């Protein structure tokens, strides 16, 4: 089965940067896209960014445009989220997802990694 392992979270001051990674393990698989979502305590999970795997086309939530960059390494089956100019409102658990069975449906998820932005 496909497994997604998320890493790179931590504590950072406002204005700082972090880079999250999501690496696929298990069987080799093709996918339509991979994306990042986040969820703060007591809040719903929201979309952050996505990348179409073959084309590399990217999509961003308005709240992170100009600050976050999603990228992928096809050979490593890894997707990254570079987060710059972090704000306290970016604090959340960040989840990586993959669209495998159908486009638009995230049917595989990583375990999540905590990002905390102070000040």
Nearest to residue 34, comparing CAs of 42, 44, 23, 45?
Answer: 23
Mean pLDDT of the chain: 94
- Rounded to an integer, the average pLDDT of 62-77 is 94
Whether 48 shows a pLDDT value over 80: the answer reads yes
In angstroms, the CA 43 to CA 59 distance is 22
Whether 115 shows a pLDDT value over 80: the answer reads yes
Q: Residue 1: which pLDDT band, with cuts at 50, 70 and 90?
A: confident
In angstroms, the CA 56 to CA 77 distance is 13
User: Which residues neighbour 55 within 8 Å (Cβ) at sequence distance 6 or greater?
Assistant: none
Provide the pLDDT for residue 29.
67
Provide the pLDDT for residue 74.
82
62: helix, coil or strand? coil
- Rounded to an integer, the average pLDDT of 16-31 is 86
Query: What would the pLDDT profile of 74-108 be if each residue is shown by its tens digit?
Result: 888 899 999 999 999 999 999 999 998 899 999 99
- Rounded to an integer, the average pLDDT of 50-77 is 94
């Amino acid at each position: 089965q496909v497994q997604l392992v998320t890493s790179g979270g931590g504590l950072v001051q406002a204005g700082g940067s972090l880079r999250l990674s999501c690496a696929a393990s298990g069987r080799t698989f093709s996918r339509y896209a991979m994306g990042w979502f986040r969820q703060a305590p007591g809040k719903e999970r929201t979309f952050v960014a996505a990348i179409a795997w073959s084309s590399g086309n990217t999509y961003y939530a308005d709240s992170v445009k100009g600050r976050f960059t999603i990228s992928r390494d096809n050979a490593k089956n890894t997707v990254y989220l570079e987060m710059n100019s972090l704000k306290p409102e970016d604090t959340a658990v960040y989840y990586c997802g993959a669209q495998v069975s159908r486009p638009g449906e995230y049917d595989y998820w990583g375990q999540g990694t905590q990002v905390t932005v102070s000040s």
